[in-house]
Amino acid sequence: MRRGELASRLQAEYAPGVECGVARTREKGYENIWFVVPPPPPCRQPARLPADALIRANRTLASQKTLDAADDLDLLVSHLFRSREAVQSSRMEGTWSTIDDVLTPGELFDDRAGPSERASVLGYADALRKEMASVAGVKAF
């Protein structure tokens, strides 16, 4: 992510006494690595929480099928969303993989992204799949 893509209040350089911003690491050999110092959480809760919206959201989530009751279409959509998440995460890491890298079988892959980058994205997608199955209490599909 580029500094200019951050929210404007996070773009300023962080210093003691400043609420938030970006800071450069001081470790030798990593001088060009920056990280975001986030703002602290609010000290007070809002006077009125959006209880109605939270209730509707909770009801909507409760009405969804569980993973063990998912049909083939649900499993396909879940696979596509996991794959998209893996691709988006790879971009944060700088590997810039594509959805084709994740969905193309290994024996057909032309290796243009490099084997380690593709393996990293596939490993992340597989870890998501296994963890979702574990949380749902079903065998990984």
Burial of 116 (0-12, 13-18, 19+ CB in 10 A): exposed
The CA radius of gyration of the chain, in Å to the nearest whole number, is 21
What is the DSSP secondary structure assignment for residue 35, as one 8-state letter?
E
Q: Which two tokens stand for residue 50?
A: 């959006």
What is the DSSP secondary structure assignment for residue 3, as one 8-state letter?
G
How does pLDDT run across 57-80, given as a tens digit for each residue?
999 999 987 777 878 888 888 888
How does pLDDT run across 28-38, given as a tens digit for each residue?
888 888 889 99
Q: pTM for the full model?
A: 0.47
* DSSP string for residues in 79-103: HHHHHHHHHHHHHHHT----HHHHH
Q: Domain locations in the chain?
A: 3-37, 65-135
Q: Among residues of the chain, what percentage have pLDDT more than 70?
A: 88
